[in-house]
Each structure stands twice: as structure tokens, then as C-alpha cells.
Amino acid sequence: MEPYTNNTTGNHETPSQSAKRLLGKVAVITGGARGIGAATAKLFAENGAHVVIADVLDELGATVAESIGGRYIHCDVSKEEEVESAIEEAVRWKGRVDVMVNNAGVLGPEGSITRLNMEEVNKVMSVNLMGTLHGIKHAARAMVEGGTGGSIICTSSSAAIIGGLGSHEYTMSKAAVVGVVRSAACELGAKGIRVNCVLPHGVATEMLLVGYRRFWKADMTAEEVREEVGQRGSLLRGRGGTEEDVAHASVFLASDESGFVTAHNLVVDGGYTSADSSLHFIYY
């Protein structure tokens, strides 16, 4: 059996007007200035959405927003009032919010649980968990007031369901996001609001590169990370994950195609969390 060699980079044709899956929808994306967030913002726009990017990386965020005909607002998600302002920006611009993508996140320092710095733990939780909670709260308020339902998508991680893939505080925060999503989905479903998680694995974002450079090689490139994931962290041998892979998952969850999907964890991991990828050799 030959290894899988389709190293897809996420290139795709812009959909025609009739095929646009998010046509006219209004979306807010936190952490949308780069990485998975930026890829999601671009793909949303290509599919007809009006996008507000909320981030602390002002220059990058404004550039991405301008390139897709969207809006940019400075937003530290750990501060509830700034998340509320991002939602209000979308309402002022287009009159409503249809989609909220809670994507902003931080990695946190590595280290033994016996030596955790609780201030650092709180910093990670304030962004990864509380930032997500702020987004759910204020997006849901706007959606309820709009009366037409909506889709809230939260970026968790494969670290939420497998131990040892991230720092203790990162793992804890991402696992907590899964719990909050399930809880929120139970309440908000009655209002026509769907709440779901996307769980990426092994995507060579700037954040993952920091981790690999810390423990593997100081000058490791994104392409080298993708190759490593493709060989050791994926059932699709030779195929690592891309930011666009996660963006496509979010487009599905934002679209009406997923109208009966809520409280769900959509794992984008090349099968890594479902089977032991080291057992490829059995079949050769």
C-alpha cells in the first residue's frame, strides 16, 4: 500500500455567487488576524459572509479585514467589554450577527504541574476559556434579540480529548471549552442557536510552531511541522493539517448545511485521536 501523498495546502476556487454557502451572513471572528482565524475569515468572505475580525494584532487584523471587504476592531477577548464591542460593531454595520467564531487563544508555558505558576494559568484561562465564554454570551444575546437564530463555533483542540499534547493550562482550558459548548447548546437550541466546537490537531500555526521550536528544533519551519505531523500524527500518511482544513470545517458549521448539528465536537485531526497512527506498519 502506497502512503497518502496528496499534500493539499487548502487551495480552492472561489465559489460562484449561487454556490456561496454563507451568502449574506454576518460573522464575528476573534483571533482572525492570522493563522486559523485569518484562513476562516477569508473563506467566510469567499462564501459570501460579511466578516468582522476582532484581534489584538491591529496591523495584521486590519490588513486581512481590508482584503476581504470586512471590518476590524481591536479586541482582547479576556476583557468582556471588548468582546461586547466587537459584537456591537457587527450589529452597527449589518444589523445583526449570524455567526460567532470564538477562535482567539494562547498556548501558555510548559512545565510540571508541581511547579505551575498560577498567574500564568489564570492568563491562559482568561483568554482560552473566559474569552470563549464572553463570545458565547454576547453573540447569543445579539442572536436572541435578532430572532433568527445563529451559529456559534468555538475553537478547542485535540488536546481537549488526549492528554500530553499541550501544557496543563492549555489542555485544561481547551477541555473546559468543550464543556461550556455543550452546556450552552442545551439552553440556546430553543432559540435556534447552534453551538459547536472545532478541534484542530497538528496545524502548523504560529502557536504550534512555538511549541515545536521549543522541544524539537529552534528553526523548525511550518512545512517541516506539516511533514512531521503527516508522518507521525495522522492516519493520512504524508498529509498534515492546514489552516484551511479547519476553516472549511467552520464554514460547514456556520452554514445551513449543518442546521441539525449542535453540541458537537468536529475533530479535524487526520484521524489521530481515533486510532494509533504508529500502527501504519501493520498494513504494509
- Enumerate the active-site residues: 170
Q: What is the rounded distance in angstroms from the CA atom of residue 120 to the CA atom of residue 129? A: 14
Q: What is the rounded distance in angstroms from the CA atom of residue 192 to the CA atom of residue 127? A: 27
Q: Give the 3-state DSSP-derived string for 67-87, with helices as H, strands as E and coil as C.
A: HCCCEEEECCCCCHHHHHHHH
The DSSP result for 175-216, as a single string, is: HHHHHHHHHHHHHHGGGTEEEEEEEE-SB--HHHHHHHHHHT
**Across the chain, which distance is largest between two alpha carbons, in Å?**
58
Asked if 195 and 136 count as a contact pair (C-beta separation under 8 A), the reply is yes
| Secondary structure class of 94 (helix, strand, coil) | helix
Q: Which three cell numbers stand for residue 68?
A: 476581504
Asked if 157 and 129 count as a contact pair (C-beta separation under 8 A), the reply is no
What is the pairing mode between strands 99-102 and 26-30? parallel
Closest residue by Cα to residue 241 from 200, 190, 284: 200
From the number of C-beta atoms within 10 Å of its C-beta (0-12, 13-18, 19+), residue 70 rates as buried
